[in-house]
Structure 1
Amino acid sequence: MVFGLSGSQLFGVGLAVVGTIVLAFSGRYVWRATSIYRAEVVSMLGETTPRALVRVSGTAQQGDADLLSAPFSGNDCLALRYAVEERRLSPFLLPWFVTIHELAGSDAFRVRTAEADVDIVEPARTVTLEREIVATVPPSDEPPSASHGSSGPLTPSQ
């Protein structure tokens, strides 16, 4: 007996401590992942503090820099993030994904809102154009053809 606890009670306390740590890290992840939904919606960046997380909605226009080229479709884009992953079996015989290559970037661009034009000059942390479901393709199949061109509301955050 350690501190007056039996072996099963000590094991339960250990599991409770591990569970608390896992819960804390999970809560931190959820808090960070949902930060874009808690960000302040603004139409101009004049009154915001530098490096603040904000949401600006409007129509995106190309800036002075050249457009980025999407690696698989060749489409021109203002902001880009992609990951090439490979699915493997883990030592415990469960599937897991290994990231082979990942890249993110954006060029300077302008978002035209109803009130003003907002210049996004620093690399934006998150840019949402539209939701897109990426197909999972077995090694023996060809990937589906990519759609060309897209227009819709752009929501960048800095």
Structure 2
Amino acid sequence: MKNQEISKKAKLFLFALYIGIYVSVDMLIKASQKGENLEYDYDPVCAILMTEVVKLVASLLIYFRMDREVGVKEKFNSLTKITPTRLMYGLPALIYAFYNILAYYNLQNFDPPLKTLVLNLRLGFTAFLAWLILKQKISRMKFFSLVILFVGIIMGQ
């Protein structure tokens, strides 16, 4: 495959699109809730499954459109081979899908900003475990930012 550069405008557009999608997803999920119990009119697991199928189809379309020097048959044959690397990516993909399903159920109990704050608490847990298990030092600035995050969660609750 040829080395293809992405223009600065395209990078800026993709960055803005990513931020827009990231910010709007929780609000759209929250807006889809109905009734006193804040239930969904659809099954969140099916919504995640359909999202993953759409991402797979889009990825395959992009894959088959790239590098036109290689034939479709060769590309299809390369996709059907099961390699250790592909198996390695399977577990994180399943964890990611499970994480997305939990986001729906988190939004039944939290509003979007509080959910984001609580999920960011994983940074604190990761830092604590890195300090405890890996014996890594945490700079004062990082420690201060973790304290601010923790105080924000307390204030949000």
- Quickly name the TM-score band, shorter chain normalised: under 0.3
Give me the TM-score of the superposition, normalised by structure 1. Answer: 0.27
| Higher Rg of the two aligned structures | 1
Greater helix share, 1 or 2?
2
Larger relative contact order (CA 8 Å, sep ≥ 6): 2
